[in-house]
Amino acid sequence: MASGTSNLIAIIAAVFIPPLGVFIHEGLTGRFWICVVLTLLFFVPGMIYALWCILG
């Protein structure tokens, strides 16, 4: 799978399930756990953080 395709899948996953998008892009890191906490507190901050991690 090409890198561009992987990023596209991660972005789509980040919109619907933010921690999954971060996991696809970076694996099981600290950023993943931060995204899990933000998503559990409220969905929108988790989604914004996930997109920031993937696109940044």
Q: Where are the domains of the chain?
A: 3-55
pLDDT in tens, 12-21: 999 999 999 9
Say whether pLDDT at 33 is over 90.
Answer: yes
What global pTM score does this model have?
0.87
SS3 category, 25: helix
Q: 11, 51 in Cβ contact below 8 A?
A: yes
Q: Which helix (H) or strand (E) holds 28?
A: none
Q: Band the pLDDT of 1: cuts 50, 70, 90.
A: very low
